[in-house]
Amino acid sequence: MSIANKRRETEVFSLAFLDCICCGFGAVILVFILTVSQKKDVDKAEVEKARARLQSVQSTVAMTQEEIDRLARVLAAAQLELQDINAKSTQDQLKLTDRKRDLLLMLQQTGALKDALHTLLGEKKALPTEDVAPPVPIPNVDRRQYLTGVKLHGEFVVFLVRTSGSMLDDTIDAAAARLGDTDDKKREAPKWQRVIQSLEWMLASLSPETRFQILFFAEETTPIIPTRGEEWFSTKDRPTMTEVISRLNKLVPKGGANLERAFTAVRFLPRLPDSIVLITDGLPTRSDSLPMEGDVEEGHRIRFFEIAVKQLPPRIPVSTILFPMLTGDPGAPGLYWELANATRGALVSPAKSWPDT
């Protein structure tokens, strides 16, 4: 065997084998490169998704943190309010304790006052008693509210009471017939008794703080107590009330009625009244501004009334108690109603049967 043959036998790899290996290695590298490229694209998409999720989570965390901060502030405010409530509750408890203490003291004092009152009542019962008549006699107590329509405004009230002969009866002829009676019979005339009882009711309804004066008007105007015409009386003054009632029961109606003089007398009182109560039964029959003698017609009486009203002091309510006069003055109710409306007073016309029924 030759040397060249020997060299061929000793070669383990041929050129073709090396080519195969290189090609396979190259294929592997190519596959690797292709795989790595695709993997890079896939990883990039996953990274973007992950970043988006991260941003969403971060946004949610930020919102959650803001809510936590808000809740923390609300909790802090609630704690402060709770502290204030606890402090106020403590103060209220202290006040309640003080009030309970004051209440117990008041109950003790009340008990002592009750004991003292019981003692005084016992001493009062042991005192000798005597019947004391009221300063103003009250006629027919069951009909106490009959004349409540009359307005008694203010602290000073003047009663103007007509004492002319017409106050003896409900018609002119009947009143003229009674003029011949004795004074005692005139005082007992039913119509005049109703006048007296109405005035007594007015006096009885006055407040103890109210002061009053009574003026009688017929031909002249005179105070019920002539020597005390510039004074104001109180129902708490028992001696004065006794004298007032006594003089009222002694009065005898007579003559005509000059309302102009009555209103003028009110104007010149030392202190103007807060209200006027006029007790009459019709229009005036005399006037100083338009003097006439004898009987006068209705037209003249209306004129007398208009003249008299002009003498009234301004802004004083005038309430009229108009007793019935069945003949002579059909226009009287309307005129006295206008007077009441103009002065913000009232007009009351008692029933003929009052106060018997």
Q: What is the pLDDT of residues 230-243, one digit of tens each?
A: 999 999 999 999 99
| Higher-confidence position of 176 and 131 | 176
Per residue in 103-161, pLDDT (tens digit) is 777 777 777 777 777 777 777 666 655 445 555 554 444 444 445 556 677 899 999 99
**Cα separation values, 9 from 3, 19, 20, 156, 243, Å:** 10, 20, 21, 164, 179
Q: In the prediction, which pLDDT does 252 show?
A: 95
For the beta carbon of residue 191, count every other beta carbon within 10 angstroms. 20
Q: In the prediction, which pLDDT does 270 show?
A: 92
Q: In the prediction, which pLDDT does 134 show?
A: 52
Per residue in 147-173, pLDDT (tens digit) is 555 667 789 999 999 999 999 998 888
For the beta carbon of residue 318, count every other beta carbon within 10 angstroms. 24
| Higher-confidence position of 328 and 97 | 97
- Residues 256 and 294: beta-carbon distance below 8 Å: no
Residue for token digits 């209705």? 298
Q: In the prediction, which pLDDT does 191 show?
A: 92
Which of 323, 322, 318 lies closest to 339 in space, CA to CA?
A: 318
Range in 112-121, 191-200, 320-329 with the lowest mean pLDDT: 112-121
CATH entry, 141-348, from 3.10.310.30, 3.40.50.410, 1.10.1050.10, 3.40.50.300: 3.40.50.410
Per residue in 330-341, pLDDT (tens digit) is 889 999 999 999
Strand partners, 215: 160, 223
Average pLDDT over residues 170-199: 92
Provide the 3-class DSSP secondary structure of residue 209.
coil
Average pLDDT over residues 16-25: 76
Asked whether the predicted pLDDT for residue 10 surpasses 80, the reply is no
Per residue in 245-289, pLDDT (tens digit) is 999 999 999 999 999 999 999 999 999 999 999 999 999 999 999
Q: In the prediction, which pLDDT does 142 show?
A: 43
Q: In the prediction, which pLDDT does 145 show?
A: 41
- Residues 259 and 289: beta-carbon distance below 8 Å: no
Looking at every residue in the chain, the average pLDDT score rounds to 83
> What burial letters (b/e) apply to 212-237, b meaning 16+ CB within 10 Å?
bbbbbbbeebebbeeeebeebbbbee
Asked whether the predicted pLDDT for residue 216 surpasses 80, the reply is yes
Percent of the chain with pLDDT over 90: 44
Sequence spans of domains, the chain: 17-125, 141-348
- pLDDT level of residue 64 (50, 70, 90 thresholds): confident
Percent of the chain with pLDDT over 70: 83
**pTM of the full predicted structure?**
0.61
Asked whether the predicted pLDDT for residue 301 surpasses 70, the reply is yes
Residue for token digits 């195969």? 20
- pLDDT level of residue 21 (50, 70, 90 thresholds): confident
Cα separation of 290 and 292, whole Å? 7
| Higher-confidence position of 18 and 347 | 347
- pLDDT level of residue 91 (50, 70, 90 thresholds): confident
Asked whether the predicted pLDDT for residue 201 surpasses 90, the reply is no
Q: In the prediction, which pLDDT does 242 show?
A: 93
For the beta carbon of residue 96, count every other beta carbon within 10 angstroms. 10
> What burial letters (b/e) apply to 29-54, b meaning 16+ CB within 10 Å?
eeeeeeeeeeeeeeeeeeeeeeeeee
